[in-house]
Structure 1
Amino acid sequence: MQRSMIRPGNHVIKSYEAYSDMLFRIAMVHLGRRQDAEEAVQDTFIKLMEKAPDFNDAEHQKAWLIRVLTNTCKTMLGRGWRKREVKLDGAEALAADGPMDLALLQLVLALPVKLKAVIHLYYYEDYSVQEISRILQISDSAVKMRLQRGRQLLKLELEGAEPE
């Protein structure tokens, strides 16, 4: 699909500078590969340029970008070739403080998509349950349940126990 030449305005450039790193980290959690994450972030900003929505404030814009990115990642994961391939190269770009953080991050990345999305937004991006609920368009109780299930799976992995 060939896109028409769209020149980014200052608002898009400022948005890119403000949010691209955060969006890349979220995409890495979903997709697990640097190239795919970069493509998802690029597609998200292309959609911002094409649609040029009006935002109430910076938080509204940030939530819109995360939602578009999440949907883009889901679409990419749904592609036939992508279903057969799961790689976690590039996880070190997300880990902040060393091998223990990298090991924990790899466990988070191994969680099912629904669980790792809320775990990442809650623990790595410091969003509240209510904010995650709005961003992912699910109920607060669904966010809490996914956090609980994700924590349980991580605990089992960290303890080396087998699930019942």
Structure 2
Amino acid sequence: MEKSAQEILDQYGDMVFRTAYAMVKNPHDAEDIAQDVFVCLVRVQPKFESDEHQKAWLLRVTINRSKSFLRSAWQQRTQGLPDTLPDAAFTPGESTVLEAVAKLPEKYRQVVYLYYVEGYSSAELAKLLRLPQNTVLSRMARARKQLAKMLEGEFDYVEG
């Protein structure tokens, strides 16, 4: 059964926005990108084999639109006002981790977000990002190492 654009928006709208936000780090630009993704969906009207295929298509288009936005001459020549996430929505620890993830280079931020938030495996990420699986694994390892360095001393773990 084919879903309407509204049903797809209801089901995947938050995911598309969060993915764009994770890449561009600005809610207003992420909203624009998400809107572009769904306009593309309505214009192209692709046929999907499954819900997973549909989700992967939406993520792929979102990632591509986000990368295009980040490469644009306008984006490279301007500096927007800093947007911060509202602290009330997250615990202090979560806010600290999110800020650290936001500081990662795009290629690392992308795999961390898709792996930990969207729940994709490294094999699925490789396919989705069109990268060798070992590249995905290397990026994850490097991202974890950078996060560990950034968050060093932030959390006290008690072993028991």
Structure 1 pair 73/56, CA: closer, same or farther in 2 (3 Å)? same
Residue 114 of structure 2, aligned match among 118, 121, 131: 121
Structure 1 pair 47/56, CA: closer, same or farther in 2 (3 Å)? same
Residue 89 of structure 1, aligned match among 64, 78, 83: 83
**In structure 1, what residue type is equivalent to 2:66?**
C
Count of aligned pairs? 151
**In structure 2, what residue type is equivalent to 1:30?**
M
Structure 1: which 5+ runs fail to align?
Answer: 1-8
**In structure 2, what residue type is equivalent to 1:38?**
E
| Alignment match, 2:18 | 25
Distance in structure 2 (CA, Å) of the matches to 1:159 and 1:62: 35
Distance in structure 1 (CA, Å) of the matches to 2:31 and 2:54: 20
Could you give the per-residue CA deviations for residues 104-159 of structure 1, whole angstroms, max 9, x where no partner exists? 11110110000000001111111111111121111111110110000010011111
Indicate if the aligned counterparts of 1:77 and 1:83 stay in contact, CA closer than 8 A. yes
Distance in structure 1 (CA, Å) of the matches to 2:29 and 2:7: 23
Q: TM-score, normalised by structure 2?
A: 0.87
| Alignment match, 2:55 | 62
Q: In terms of mean alpha carbon deviation, does 32-41 or 125-134 score higher?
A: 125-134
Distance in structure 2 (CA, Å) of the matches to 1:88 and 1:152: 26
Cα deviation, residue 92, structure 1: 3.8
What are the residue-to-residue correspondences of 1:98-137 with 2, within 5 Å? 98-137=91-130
Structure 1 pair 141/100, CA: closer, same or farther in 2 (3 Å)? same
Distance in structure 2 (CA, Å) of the matches to 1:50 and 1:24: 19
Structure 1 pair 58/133, CA: closer, same or farther in 2 (3 Å)? same
Distance in structure 2 (CA, Å) of the matches to 1:86 and 1:150: 25
Residue 147 of structure 1, aligned match among 136, 140, 148: 140
Q: CA RMSD in A?
A: 2.0
Structure 2: which 5+ runs fail to align?
Answer: 154-160
Q: Kindly indicate whether residue 75 of structure 2 is the aligned counterpart of residue 75 of structure 1.
A: no
Indicate if the aligned counterparts of 1:32 and 1:87 stay in contact, CA closer than 8 A. no
Q: TM-score, normalised by structure 1?
A: 0.85
1:91 match: secondary structure:
coil
| Alignment match, 1:34 | 27
